[in-house]
């Protein structure tokens, strides 16, 4: 594949295996199910597939609690199934990327078992123990420290108490991790997504962080982008990535542009690119996730623009995404999942896929899947959602208020079953699935999307093709040009020879847009055509006032 030559032109598809496809009558998806769908993904045109954790795990956090890094979880199949998947994908020009979860392991991992059963064990040092807990709060609620009754000491867990943080100060531990990663490279994987990798270096003084009322303080600044993070990533690069063409993406929690430039600038030999999350907090009023809220459009545009400009200037590289397995569905979030579902899904795709970076498409996004709007707490499965519900109920918040927030924000919004067709359970399994399918599967599914030329699927296919073919999508300099329009995000991408003008109406009402005079002068006499648009009859001229219908998007190509 031509696109493979330059990874910067590639597009990644994310699979959450638990909800993707079961090859028979199992409750959860499996590796054979993924292999069955490779032709579909090849048709979409993606270059890589990132699969979230498939290792042996007690599944308290759907595989982000690994108990054996060298084994495939039984629910997903066998090592042979995995090898076959890698081979079949490769035959279709698609690389498989694995999720590496090494900020923490499951407490069922043999290292942790050895550590907790014998404080003198060499494995004790693989984890983080303190005689007294500080007030750091776990990201899933409550204290980040859990007491080991036998020794009286506490171990750190930034996530669930079944996810114990690994001690990256320990040299043997680091070598074990690199050996494990090389094992998967030998199996033929093409890249890695590194889970919360910017949290691995903790401030060794473990400073206390406490709120004024004496409750848990967030502690984030003591371990986010921590003191030795760059040394550790450079070491990992030398030990595992050097001399390979692995694609590597770090998931960076609460980070900054400066740090991400350092993580992803090729001269520093750390990672290929980074995920950051600031643009997905624009519907968290005062930083609070668990409330129902509208999104702040101006803030969204500002954050996206700052990252485009800042990463470009520093020679870093963004992973671009609207959706993943931790986020609600984008069409329900910044679009309209009712009347304008398809049009707004295409508009949102346009505004992301014309940016600089590497786009990630999360399973189902390419057919415009929505949040399921589950009303009952017992329809939810996610450990974070269930913990938060319990803790906030204890604090006295009402059931109704919490359900409003959960319906909008729960991670399960994106974890419902992939909708393949309109048969029972949307064609996901012939048995009983682990979670319900979204009720709209009768009309939103892959089979329907493939049968109709103007579907969201074919729109994504075209966006991917444009990235493969047009250098400006990869190279062009980003300029925001909408002058804080309350409805429109508009930007240009420019090189010496060509340019893109991207216009997106983010609302369900009509808008219009006038190009800035400076731009008209700069591109005077250039040839122009519409590259891609989501409504019939879009304005051919970019120089006169451009009417934009609800959720309309237009991209002009100038040369």
Residues that bind ligand TEU (CB under 6 A): 61, 64, 101, 139, 159, 195-196, 253, 325-326, 384, 411
**Shortest distance, CB of residue 559 to ligand TEU, whole angstroms?**
40
Question: By C-beta, is 336 or 384 nearer to ligand TEU?
Answer: 384
Helix, strand, coil content of the chain in percent (nearest 5): 40, 20, 45
H or E element at residue 263: helix 257-264
Q: What is the distance between the alpha carbons of residues 469 and 474, in angstroms, rounded to a whole number?
A: 10
Strand partners, 165: 104
Question: By C-beta, is 301 or 411 nearer to ligand TEU?
Answer: 411
Strand partners, 362: 14
Helix, coil or strand: residue 305: helix
Question: By C-beta, is 250 or 335 nearer to ligand TEU?
Answer: 250
**Shortest distance, CB of residue 150 to ligand TEU, whole angstroms?**
26
| Residue ranges with strand state E in 158-265 | 163-165, 191-194, 247-251
Residue 212, classified by CB atoms within 10 Å of its CB into exposed (0-12), middle (13-18) or buried (19+), is: exposed
Question: By C-beta, is 155 or 420 nearer to ligand TEU?
Answer: 155
- Using CB atoms, what's the residue nearest to ligand TEU? 64
**Shortest distance, CB of residue 310 to ligand TEU, whole angstroms?**
21
Question: By C-beta, is 14 or 429 nearer to ligand TEU?
Answer: 14
DSSP 350-384: HHHHTSSSEEEEETTGGGT-------SGGG---HH
CA distances from 336 to 101, 323, 331, 463, 506 (A): 34, 15, 6, 21, 9
Question: Strands 528-533 and 553-558, how do they pair?
Answer: antiparallel
Residues in CB range of 376: below 8 A, 6 or more apart:
none
Q: What are the backbone dihedrals phi and psi of residue 442, each rounded to the nearest 5 degrees, phi first? A: -60, -30
Helix, coil or strand: residue 251: strand
- Only one residue has tokens 């990798």, namely 197
**Integer Rg of the chain from CA:** 23
**Shortest distance, CB of residue 16 to ligand TEU, whole angstroms?**
9
Active-site annotation, residues: 195, 251
**Shortest distance, CB of residue 13 to ligand TEU, whole angstroms?**
16
**Shortest distance, CB of residue 411 to ligand TEU, whole angstroms?**
6
**Shortest distance, CB of residue 300 to ligand TEU, whole angstroms?**
18
Question: By C-beta, is 278 or 442 nearer to ligand TEU?
Answer: 278
Question: By C-beta, is 168 or 420 nearer to ligand TEU?
Answer: 168
């Amino acid at each position: 594949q031509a696109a493979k030559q330059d990874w910067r032109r590639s597009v990644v598809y994310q699979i959450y295996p638990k909800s993707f496809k079961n090859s028979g009558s199992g409750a959860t998806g499996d590796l054979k199910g993924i292999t069955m769908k490779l032709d579909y993904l090849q048709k979409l045109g993606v270059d890589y597939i990132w699969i979230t954790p498939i290792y042996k795990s007690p599944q308290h956090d759907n595989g982000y609690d690994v108990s054996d890094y060298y084994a495939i979880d039984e629910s997903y199949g066998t090592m042979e199934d995995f090898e076959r998947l890698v081979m079949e994908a490769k035959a279709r020009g698609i690389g498989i990327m694995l999720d590496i979860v090494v900020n923490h392991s499951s407490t069922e991992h043999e290292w942790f078992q050895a550590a907790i059963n014998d404080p003198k064990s060499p494995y004790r040092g693989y984890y983080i123990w303190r005689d007294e807990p500080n007030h750091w709060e776990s990201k899933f609620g409550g204290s980040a420290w859990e007491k080991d009754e036998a020794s009286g000491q506490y171990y750190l867990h930034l996530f669930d108490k079944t996810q114990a943080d690994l001690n990256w100060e320990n040299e043997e531990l680091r070598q074990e991790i690199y050996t494990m990663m090389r094992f998967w490279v030998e199996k033929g994987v093409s890249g890695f997504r590194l889970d919360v990798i910017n949290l691995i270096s903790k401030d060794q003084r473990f400073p206390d962080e406490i709120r004024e009322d004496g409750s848990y303080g967030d502690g984030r600044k003591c371990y986010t982008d921590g003191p030795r993070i760059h040394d550790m990533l450079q070491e990992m690069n030398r030990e595992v990535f050097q001399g390979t063409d692995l694609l590597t993406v770090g998931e960076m929690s609460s980070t900054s542009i400066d740090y991400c430039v350092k993580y992803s600038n090729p001269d520093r030999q750390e990672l290929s690119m980074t995920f950051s999350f600031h643009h997905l907090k624009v519907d968290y009023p005062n930083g609070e996730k668990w409330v129902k809220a509208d999104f702040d459009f101006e803030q969204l545009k500002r954050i996206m623009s700052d990252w485009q400009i800042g990463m470009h200037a520093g020679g870093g590289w963004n992973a671009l995404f609207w959706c993943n397995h931790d986020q609600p569905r984008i069409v329900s979030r910044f679009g309209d999942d009712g009347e304008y579902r398809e049009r707004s899904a295409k508009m949102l795709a346009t505004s992301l896929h014309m940016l600089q970076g590497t786009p990630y498409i999360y399973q189902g996004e390419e057919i415009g899947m929505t949040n399921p709007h589950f009303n009952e707490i017992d329809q939810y499965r996610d450990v974070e959602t269930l913990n938060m519900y319990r803790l906030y109920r204890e604090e006295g918040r009402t059931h109704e208020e919490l359900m409003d927030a959960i319906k909008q924000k729960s991670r399960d919004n994106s974890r419902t079953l992939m909708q393949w067709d309109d048969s029972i359970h949307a064609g996901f399994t012939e048995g009983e699935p682990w979670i319900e399918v979204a009720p709209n599967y009768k009309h939103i599914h892959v089979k329907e999307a493939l049968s109709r030329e103007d579907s969201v699927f074919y729109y994504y296919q075209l966006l991917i093709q444009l990235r493969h073919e047009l250098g400006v999508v990869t190279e062009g300099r980003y300029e925001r040009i909408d002058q804080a329009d309350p409805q429109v995000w508009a930007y240009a991408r420019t090189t010496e020879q060509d340019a893109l003008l991207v216009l997106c109406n983010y609302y369900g009402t009509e808008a219009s847009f006038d190009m800035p005079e400076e731009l008209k002068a700069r591109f005077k006499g250039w040839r122009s055509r519409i590259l891609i648009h989501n409504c019939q009859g879009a304005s051919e001229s970019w120089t006169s006032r451009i009417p934009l219908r609800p959720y309309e998007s237009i991209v002009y190509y100038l040369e």
